[in-house]
Amino acid sequence: MDGVIEKIASKDYSDVFAKPVSEKEVPGYSTVIKNPMDLSTMRKKLAKGEYKNLSQLKADFTLMMNNCSTFNRHNEFFWKYGHRLHRIGLKYFRVAEKEIHSHSLV
């Protein structure tokens, strides 16, 4: 599962999702977004064993991307970053899901 996060984090446009959004840097974020998520939080949860399966990791990734779309619906620049990362991230999850499925058939 950590491979999926690392592939997502390696993308040039993932930097805005690297750490929690700071209310100081982005005023109003915590008013709009009630369940924030970022790549560093996902890494910490993975290291602690909080993800029991790929679906749970994917749910947090989807939450992160939905938060981006919700907060940035009027900011085309960040909305596009989020959309691009969401698309490529889902591709990585599909590959990982296929690998898990093929290993379970063996």
Q: What is the number of domains present in the chain?
A: 1
Count the residues in the chain.
Answer: 106
List the CATH number of the domain containing 23.
1.20.920.10
Q: What is the mean pLDDT of the chain?
A: 92
> Per-residue pLDDT averaged across 44-60, rounded?
96
| Domain containing residue 39 | 2-105
Residue 71 in this model has a pLDDT that exceeds 90: yes
Residues in contact with 79: Cβ distance below 8 Å, sequence separation at least 6, in sequence order:
68, 69, 72, 73
pLDDT value, residue 26: 94
pLDDT value, residue 12: 80
> Sign of dihedral through CA atoms 61, 62, 66, 72?
positive
pLDDT value, residue 23: 94
pLDDT tens-place string over residues 30-50: 999 999 999 999 999 999 999
